[in-house]
Every structure is written in C-alpha cells, then in structure tokens.
C-alpha cells in the first residue's frame, strides 16, 4: 500500500469498499433530503402565511436568521443534548438550517407576484384558494425552488458534520480517514463524493428551477 | 328582461375608508342594459372606486347598489365577479398560461367542458381578428396591443353581459389605442353588451360612450350623453375637462344638417313644361332646378345644359330629368356631411326628410361659413369677404350638381 500514491490508494479503497461508500452516499443523501423536505413541508406554508400577513414576516424571518447564524457544530451539539446521538439529531439540524432559505424564498416569491395579476384574478372571480394555486404559486414556484436548492446544498454540507453525532453518511468515511495514519485516500473517498453530491444536486435542482420558470417570462 | 331594465343602480352610494378618507359620496347612477358608460375625472375623483364597487372588489359603506335589480350583497362575491367581465389597465394576462388558457379562465372556473371552452376560444380569437395559432402561445410572445385584445375578449368568454374596464388602453400607443377603441365599440354594439369604462381621456369618452359620468372629488358632477355634455356642460369644471377647443369644434359635431339648411329651395314638378322651367330659372337666377313630385318627394334635378340641348326635342321636365342626385337626410350630423360635400366638390346638396320629401338645401357657402367659425371662433369673425366664399345667395344653386 505504501508504495502507491494517494490517488492510487484512493482508487484501491474505492474498488474494495465500493459498496460501503455507496451505502454511505445514499444514507448521506437521504438524511439531507429528509431534512430539507421536512423544512419544505413546514417552511412553505409559513412563507405563504407571512406573505399574506406581512406584519409577521419581520419576526419570522428574524428568527430564521438567528438560527442560521448559529455554527452548525454548535447546533448539532445543542440538539444532541435533547435528542441524543443518531440520525434524528442531524435531520433536525438540517431542517432548522433549511428553514431560512425556504421561508424567505417562498415569501419573496409570493410578494413579487405582480399585484395587478392578483387583482385581475380576483376580479375574474377566483376564490382565495384558486388565486393561490392557479396564479400565485405557479408564478412563485421558481423562486421557491431556488430556496430548496440552496437548502439542499447547505444540507449536504451539514450532514457531513453529522458523523460526529454518529449519524453515518460520507462524513463517517472522512472521520475514519482523519483517524487513520496516512488516511489521505480515505478522506478523499468521503470528501469527493460529498462534493460531487452537492454539485450534482445544485445542477439538477437548477434545471428543475428553470423548468418551473413561468414560460412567458423566459427570454 | 327587457332592454330598458337597469343593469346596475347606485342609490346614494358612498365609500369612506377607515380614518375618514372619503373616496366616493352620494353617488346615484343608473346604468341601463346596452349602455356604454364612461366614468371620467381626474385622479382621485372616485371613478375607479365607483367601478370597483360594482363587482364588489370594494364594498360601499353607505347606500344600496343593485345589480339586475337585486341588492349586490344578495350575490356571492365570487359568483358575481364571474358574471361580470373585468379588464384592467395592465392587461393582467397570466404569464404562465397560454392565450387559450387565459381566454377560457372564467369558463374553466365555471367548469365548462373542455370542448365548449375550446370552441369559445376559437370564436373569440376570430372576433378580435387574431390568428387561431395564437391560442397556443404565451402572452409574452404577443405585442402589447395584441395582449390587450386578448384581455378584452377574456372579459367576454363566459358570456358576461356587463364588462368593467379600468383605463384599459392607457398604456398603449395612440394608433393601437384607436384600433382597440374601435374594436371595443363595435363589439359592444354588435353583442349588445353593457360596458362601464373608466378613463381620464375625454376624446376616448366622447368617442365611445353613450353616457358620460363626470366625477370630481368623489361626487358625480354631471351625467349626460356625449352630445348633451358638449352642448350643456354643467359647471366650469366640466368645461375645463372638455376643453374650450373641443367645445367649439363640437358645434359642427352636434349640429344637424336640418339646423343650417336653407329652406325654400327652388324646385319644379316633372309634369311642368320646359318653358316653365326656364321661366323659373330666370326668375330665381339659378342654373339647376330640383325636381319633386306633387307631394314634395325628391325625384332628381334638371340643369341648364340639358335644358339647352333638349329644348327642341322635349316638352316636359320629366323628359330631361336626371335622377342621379346626391342628397342628405335632415337629421344627419353636419360633421358627417361636411367632408362629403366639400370633397365631392358639390355646390349644394338637397336635404330630405325621412319620407324623402325635399326640405331644403345646404350650400357650400353655408358650410364654409361654419368652418370659418370653428377656426376663428364665432366672436372673432373676419370681415365678410364675399370674394373668398362661393357666391351664393340663399336658395341659389348657382351651378349644376
């Protein structure tokens, strides 16, 4: 082993532990996605609510901002005190970090819908629910999607740290490498897929976001 | 439902915002079926507020508002709005929907079957003279004028009888605006729709409206037909809004041919002999005679040339009668007549009543006088200069038609 350079060691590690890396990859991915989905399920309605009641927006976005400023390792530790070691702690952490981009983008997307369109929709006899589902949401969807994209990229990074509270994922491989002597190749085997996942997630969601852009607004 | 039944009735309506801001006060107005009502006034006059209360976009704070004879509050607001077309200044087409989806939005809300919606969209796009291929396009792919055409027909899609328009053409260039004004006017007349139209453009109001409502400071200042408004502006405010220039020009616009025609035209019956005709021409010093039957119905004319040519061969007026004569109706508006007379180079035009009886003539000289009046104003007449006008004494068709 010692006569191989780092890259050769990296490929050697991958070829012998491929299944393991893959399983950690999917675990990592799912932890991030669950956290973000949870944040979307809660955050989008909050965003819609504060877009309707603008007075609440300052307070809600303020709280989300404060959460965002807490360093992720500190946040993990604090939540760990409540939920203990394990995957749930990481999912909750991801959820909390995803709230701000999702709530904020939902809010921004909604208040940026042309008010004359909403007026026209109301004047044509749409109910409040129809206005939301047929006009406001379709027009705000691309902006909301951008928030989810942001959240997912951040979430993949946070999940990597989640290895410290025993959640598994690619972070686990990185920690293993840092603990081994000459573990550079093992660190790479954890770090490169993490980076790859973040980049691919960003590209894919970026494409989805462009698809959701109202067609008429495309140049 | 008869055509005279009022569609919308405002009964002492007021709208006071919280904090005591009065938007509209004591508005009483009846909008009949088939009316084209223009609400006109400066910004803040309450015209848009008044309009928006009809489809309950705003709730009046006092008075009663009836739609189709029933209090507006007896309708569900959402259902009511689906019965009333709505066109706004910024067009308001949904950018994420195709033209087809935009046009058939209200039918879709009313749960029309797809087939019927498709049919309606085809029919409407034809109505505004746009190709059917546009149905699959998105609003951003159309020009502003085309978009507002779609905005207009969207308001007709569910067979709404009443259409509200809030300065719909304000943002368009003058040529497009004019085309759309004509479109709306012709649709309104053809389909028998009732339109409430908010504008601050007096030309637009005069052109489109059957009834103009002038508003200022939340009150109605005057409600009148365009002609009436021009003839009798109620206050100085209304005069200012119309503008002195238009008031003067309007004289020609609202004067009928009958009002300026010369009565007692020189005429003869077909049965008379040519000698009689010549004697009459000589006596009245004219070169043509209008020919009428015994009841005064206009039959044609004879002129001195044909008289001269046929003097030996013919005996009576009917032999040389020229029936090809251009005439106007006495109730015709002068503005429509002036152009025709001046461009055709006619020296005079006989005027008939509804039974085609000869009533008088309008001479070129009389028209020229009228045009001078509108150019210089009636008080500031230049000294009479007969050489400048076509020499025409009353009832003197000097030359042939």
pLDDT digits (tens, 9 = 90+) for B368-386: 777 777 666 555 444 444 4
Torsion angle in degrees (nearest 10) through CA of B177, B181, B187, B190: -150
Run of H or E residues at B22 = strand B22-32
Report which DSSP code applies to B382.
P
Q: Answer whether A126 sits within 8 Å of B78, measured CB to CB.
A: yes
Q: Judge whether B15 is closer than 8 Å to chain A, CB to CB.
A: no
Angle at the Cα of B314 (from B311 to B315), degrees rounded to 5? Answer: 100
- Structural domain contains residue A10: no
Run of H or E residues at A186 = helix A184-212
Q: Answer whether A124 sits within 8 Å of B94, measured CB to CB.
A: no
Closest residue, chain B, to A117 (C-alpha): B92
Q: Answer whether A114 sits within 8 Å of B139, measured CB to CB.
A: no
CB-based burial, B65-81: b 16+ in 10 Å, e otherwise: bbbbeeebeebeebebb
- Structural domain contains residue A131: no
Q: Answer whether A116 sits within 8 Å of B90, measured CB to CB.
A: yes
Find, among A202, A170, A211, A207, the residue nearest to A189 by Cα. A170
- Structural domain contains residue A186: yes
* Contact in structure between A99 and A67 (CB atoms under 8 Å): yes
Domain of residue A189, CATH code: 1.10.3720.10
Q: Is the pLDDT of residue A199 over 90?
A: yes
Write down the pLDDT at residue A130. Answer: 93
Q: Is the pLDDT of residue A218 over 60?
A: no
A44-48, A210-214, B49-53, B159-163 — which is least confidently predicted? A210-214
Strands (E), B116-193: 162-166
- Structural domain contains residue A130: no
Contacts A134 to B, Cβ<8 Å: 94
Q: Which two tokens stand for residue B81?
A: 């709005």
pLDDT band for position B80 (50/70/90)? very high
Q: Is the pLDDT of residue B390 over 50?
A: no
The count of domains in chain A is: 1
Q: How far apart are CA A40 and CA A46, in angstroms?
A: 9
Q: Judge whether B248 is closer than 8 Å to chain A, CB to CB.
A: no
Q: Is the pLDDT of residue B319 over 70?
A: yes
Q: Which two tokens stand for residue B48?
A: 């848009």
pLDDT (average), residues A166-188: 87
Report which DSSP code applies to B192.
T
Which residue has 């200044």 as its token pair?
Answer: B89
Contacts A215 to B, Cβ<8 Å: 95-96, 138
Q: Is the pLDDT of residue B77 over 60?
A: yes
* Contact in structure between B191 and B156 (CB atoms under 8 Å): yes
- Shortest Cα distance from B346 to chain A (angstroms)? 53
pLDDT (average), residues B85-89: 88
Q: How far apart are CA B177 and CA A110, in angstroms?
A: 32
Q: Judge whether B80 is closer than 8 Å to chain A, CB to CB.
A: yes
Write down the pLDDT at residue B250. Answer: 66
> Which of B83, B86, B109 is facing A120, going by the closest CB pair?
B86
Q: How far apart are CA A142 and CA A102, in angstroms?
A: 12
Q: Which two tokens stand for residue B345?
A: 């180079």
Q: Is the pLDDT of residue A3 over 90?
A: no
pLDDT (average), residues B300-324: 82
- Shortest Cα distance from A131 to chain B (angstroms)? 11
Write down the pLDDT at residue A203. Answer: 95
> Which of A123, A124, A216 is facing B96, going by the closest CB pair?
A216
Contacts of B385 (CB under 8 A, 6+ apart): none
Averaged confidence pLDDT in chain A: 89
| Tens-digit pLDDT profile for residues B339-351 | 777 777 777 888 8
Torsion angle in degrees (nearest 10) through CA of B316, B317, B323, B327: -160
Report which DSSP code applies to B316.
B
Helix, strand, or coil (residue B222): strand
Q: Answer whether B57 sits within 8 Å of A122, measured CB to CB.
A: yes
A2-6, A143-147, B69-73 — which is least confidently predicted? A2-6
Phi and psi dihedrals of A5, rounded to 5? -80, 175
Torsion angle in degrees (nearest 10) through CA of A54, A57, A59, A64: 170
Write down the pLDDT at residue B364. Answer: 80
Contacts B94 to A, Cβ<8 Å: 117, 120-121, 134-135
SS3 content of chain B, % helix, strand, coil (to 5): 40, 25, 35
* Contact in structure between B84 and A124 (CB atoms under 8 Å): no
Write down the pLDDT at residue B1. Answer: 45
Q: How far apart are CA A22 and CA A169, in angstroms?
A: 10
- Shortest Cα distance from A109 to chain B (angstroms)? 14
Q: How far apart are CA B363 and CA B366, in angstroms?
A: 5
pLDDT (average), residues A28-49: 94
pLDDT band for position B191 (50/70/90)? confident
- Structural domain contains residue A135: no
| Tens-digit pLDDT profile for residues B217-266 | 889 999 999 888 888 888 888 888 888 777 776 665 667 777 778 888 88
B151 exposed, middle or buried (CB, 10 Å; 0-12, 13-18, 19+)? buried
pLDDT (average), residues B71-100: 89
Residue to mutate among B92, B110, B139, B148, with most A CBs inside 10 A, is: B92
Using alpha carbons, list the distances in angstroms from residue B378 to A103, B235, B251, B382, B393.
Answer: 71, 21, 11, 10, 21
Contacts A218 to B, Cβ<8 Å: 140
Q: Judge whether B55 is closer than 8 Å to chain A, CB to CB.
A: yes
- Structural domain contains residue A127: no
Q: What count of residues does chain B have?
A: 401
User: Distance of alpha carbon B309 from its chain centroid, rounded?
Assistant: 47
Helix, strand, or coil (residue B164): strand
Q: How far apart are CA B25 and CA B293, in angstroms?
A: 61
Q: Answer whether A124 sits within 8 Å of B88, measured CB to CB.
A: no
| Tens-digit pLDDT profile for residues A103-146 | 999 999 999 998 889 999 999 999 999 999 999 999 999 999 99
Q: How far apart are CA B398 and CA B361, in angstroms?
A: 12
Residue to mutate among B83, B94, B97, with most A CBs inside 10 A, is: B94
Q: Which two tokens stand for residue B350?
A: 């006989």
Per-position DSSP letters for A67-124, written without gaps between them: HHHS-HHHHHHHHHHHH-SSHHHHHHHHHHHHHHHHHHHHHHHHHTS-HHHHHHHHHT
- Structural domain contains residue A105: yes
Q: Which two tokens stand for residue A214?
A: 């109202």
Write down the pLDDT at residue B391. Answer: 39
Size of interface A-B (CB pairs under 8 A): 64
Contacts A138 to B, Cβ<8 Å: 96
- Shortest Cα distance from A216 to chain B (angstroms)? 5
- Structural domain contains residue A128: no
pLDDT (average), residues B299-327: 82
A181-185, A214-218, B87-91, B148-152 — which is least confidently predicted? A214-218
Q: Is the pLDDT of residue B5 over 90?
A: no
Which domain covers residue A72, as residue numbers? Answer: 19-111+145-213
Q: Judge whether B95 is closer than 8 Å to chain A, CB to CB.
A: yes
SS (H, E, C) B229-296: HHHCCCCHHHHHHHCHHHHHHHHHHHCEHHHHCECCCCEECCCCEHHHHHHHHHHHCCCEEEEECCCC
- Shortest Cα distance from B93 to chain A (angstroms)? 7
Q: Judge whether B86 is closer than 8 Å to chain A, CB to CB.
A: yes
Q: How far apart are CA B139 and CA A214, in angstroms?
A: 11
Neighbouring C-beta atoms of residue A208, cutoff 10 Å: 15
pLDDT band for position B355 (50/70/90)? confident
More confident: A25 or B320? A25
């Amino acid at each position: 082993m010692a006569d191989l350079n780092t890259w050769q060691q990296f490929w050697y590690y991958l070829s012998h532990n491929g299944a393991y890396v893959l399983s950690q990859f999917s675990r990592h991915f799912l932890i991030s996605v669950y956290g973000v989905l949870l944040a979307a399920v809660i955050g989008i309605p909050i965003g819609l609510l504060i877009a309707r009641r603008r007075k609440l927006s300052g307070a809600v976005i303020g709280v989300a901002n404060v959460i965002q400023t807490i360093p992720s390792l500190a946040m993990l530790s604090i939540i760990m005190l409540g939920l203990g070691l394990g995957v749930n702690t990481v999912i909750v952490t991801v959820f909390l970090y995803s709230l701000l981009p999702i709530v904020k983008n939902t809010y921004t997307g909604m208040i940026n819908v042309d008010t004359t369109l909403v007026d026209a929709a109301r004047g044509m006899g749409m109910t409040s629910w129809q206005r939301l589902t047929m006009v406001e949401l379709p027009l705000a969807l691309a902006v909301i999607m951008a928030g989810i994209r942001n959240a997912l990229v951040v979430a993949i990074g946070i999940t990597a740290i989640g290895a410290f509270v025993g959640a598994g994922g690619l972070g686990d491989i990185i920690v293993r490498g840092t603990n081994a002597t000459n573990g550079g190749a093992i660190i790479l085997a954890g770090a490169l897929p993490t980076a790859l996942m973040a980049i691919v997630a960003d590209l894919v969601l970026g494409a989805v976001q462009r698809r959701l852009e109202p067609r008429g607004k495309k140049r | 439902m008869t055509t005279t039944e009022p569609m919308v009735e405002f009964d002492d309506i007021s709208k006071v915002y919280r904090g005591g801001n009065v938007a509209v006060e004591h508005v009483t107005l009846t909008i009949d079926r088939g009316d084209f009502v223009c609400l006109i006034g400066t910004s803040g006059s309450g015209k848009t507020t008044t309009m928006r209360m009809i489809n309950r976009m705003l709730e009046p704070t006092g008075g009663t508002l009836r739609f189709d004879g029933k209090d507006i509050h007896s309708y569900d607001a959402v259902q009511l709005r689906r019965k009333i077309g709505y066109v706004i200044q910024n067009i308001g087409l949904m950018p994420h929907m195709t033209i087809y989806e935009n046009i058939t939005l209200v039918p879709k809300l009313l749960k029309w079957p797809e087939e019927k919606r498709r049919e309606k969209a085809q029919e409407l796009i034809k109505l505004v003279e746009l190709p059917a291929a546009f149905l699959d396009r998105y609003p951003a792919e159309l020009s502003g004028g085309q978009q507002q055409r779609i905005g207009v027909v969207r308001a007709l899609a569910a067979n709404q009888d009443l259409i509200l328009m809030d300065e719909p053409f304000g943002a368009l260039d003058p040529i497009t605006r004019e085309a759309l004004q004509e479109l709306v006017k012709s649709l309104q007349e053809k389909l028998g729709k009732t339109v409430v139209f908010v504008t601050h453009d007096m030309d637009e109001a005069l052109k489109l409206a059957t009834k103009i409502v002038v508003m200022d400071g939340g009150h109605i200042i005057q409600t009148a037909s365009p002609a009436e408004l021009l003839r009798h502006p109620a206050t100085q405010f209304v005069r200012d809004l119309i503008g002195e220039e238009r008031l003067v020009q309007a004289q020609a616009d609202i004067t009928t041919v009958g009002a300026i025609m010369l009565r007692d035209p020189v005429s003869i019956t077909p049965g008379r002999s040519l000698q009689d005709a010549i004697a009459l021409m000589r006596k009245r010093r004219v070169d043509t005679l209008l020919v009428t039957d015994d009841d005064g119905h206009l039959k044609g004319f004879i002129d001195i040339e044909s008289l001269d040519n046929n003097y030996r061969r013919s005996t009576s007026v009917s032999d040389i009668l020229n029936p090809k004569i251009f005439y106007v109706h006495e109730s015709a508006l002068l503005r429509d007549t002036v152009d025709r007379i001046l461009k055709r180079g006619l020296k005079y035009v006989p005027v008939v009543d509804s039974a085609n009886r000869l009533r008088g003539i309008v001479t070129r000289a009389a028209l020229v006088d009228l045009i001078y009046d509108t150019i210089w104003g009636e008080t500031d007449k230049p000294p009479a200069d007969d050489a400048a006008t076509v020499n025409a004494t009353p009832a003197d068709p000097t030359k042939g038609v």
